[in-house]
Amino acid sequence: MGATGVELRALRYFVVVAEELHFGRAAERLHIVQPAVSQQIARLERELDLRLFDRSTRRVRLTAAGRELLGQARETLAAAERVRTRARALRSGSAGTMRIGTGPDLTAHAERGVAALRVVHPDIEPVLVDRPVCARLEGVREGELDFALVRGVEREARLRVLPVWTEELYAVLPTGHALSGGGPVSLADLAALPFRHPAYERDAPLHDAVTRAFEAAGVRPVLGRPAGTVPDTLIEIGTGPASWTLASAEVLAAWPSPRVTGVPLSPPLEIPGGLVASERFDEKCVQTAVDAFSTP
C-alpha cells in the first residue's frame, strides 16, 4: 500500500467492509461497535486521500479506487500474517526452519552463522536461499524470508538493518600491473584506471556504498563497463585491458585467481555487512540471529 501511517487494523477493517458491503455486518464480524468501524474507514480515507466507498442510506459500494486497492490490502495483510506466524514459531522454538537469504559472495559468513545457529538452537533448521540482493530484501519484506545477509545496506524501508560485521575492501588489479605489487595504494592513485563499478541493477546497496566512498575521498574515477557477477568480473580484469574493481578478502578467497591481485587501500576502505529482518520480528528472534552471524 505504501501510504505513510496506514495501520494494519485499518486495512483489515477495509477488507471486511468491502466483503460485507455493510458497516453493521462488518462490525459484527470484527466483534466491535459500528462507529469504530466507520471511524477507522474515515481515517484510512483521509490518510490515503481517496474515497474507498460510496455510502448511502440504502447501500455501500466500493469506489473504483477502493476496488483497485482491495487486492493490495489483502496481500499486505497476508504478508503481515506470515511474519507473525514465523515470529510466533521462532519464539516458541517450534520454527522448524529459518529461511535466510544469501548469495555466493557471502558463503563464509553464511557458513559461520549457520554453524553457530545449529549449536545454540539445534531445534531450528537453517535453510539458505540464494537470491540477488534486491530479491533478498523483497523476500524479507514480504515474509518469504526470515532474514537476509547483505553488504552495504545502511537503511531500507520497512526493514530492520542490523550491522554484524565490517569488511575491508581491496583494489583488485591485474597481476603484474605497476600498482599491484608495491604495497597499499590510494583511490587517487587508481583514479586514471578504468573502474569496474558494481552494476546498480545487480547490487544497488554495494553500488551506493562504493559511490559514497569515492565521494568521501574526493575522487572521481574513470568508469569502465559496469561489473557483472564477481567471477566474471575477476576473469575480465585478469585477462583484458587494465582495469580494476573493489572486493573484500572473503570474496577474493572464494574465487581465487593467479591473474588478479588484491591490493590494500590507504586509507583503508570498509563496508558494513549484516542482517536484514522484518520490523515485526520481536527482539528475541532478531538477537538470536545476530548473535549467530556475529560469530568470528
pLDDT of residue 214: 85
Task: Report the distance separating Cα 60 and Cα 202, nearest Å.
Answer: 47
* In contact, 60 and 27? CB cutoff 8 Å: no
**Contacts (Cβ under 8 Å, ≥6 apart) of 152:** 203, 205, 206, 207, 208, 209, 210, 271, 272, 273
pLDDT digits (tens, 9 = 90+) for 52-109: 999 877 788 999 999 999 988 988 888 777 777 666 666 555 556 788 999 888 988 9
The amino acid at residue 168 is: E
Q: What's the pTM value of the predicted model, to 2 decimals?
A: 0.64
pLDDT of residue 9: 87
**Measured on CA atoms in the order 194, 197, 199, 202, is the torsion positive or negative?**
positive
Q: Is the pLDDT of residue 280 over 80?
A: no
* In contact, 148 and 137? CB cutoff 8 Å: yes
pLDDT of residue 84: 73
pLDDT digits (tens, 9 = 90+) for 226-267: 888 888 999 999 998 889 999 988 888 888 899 999 999 998
Higher pLDDT, 296 or 286: 286
pLDDT of residue 156: 84
User: What angle is formed at CA 116 by the lines to CA 112 and CA 119, rounded to 5 degrees?
Assistant: 145
pLDDT of residue 184: 93
pLDDT digits (tens, 9 = 90+) for 131-141: 888 889 988 98
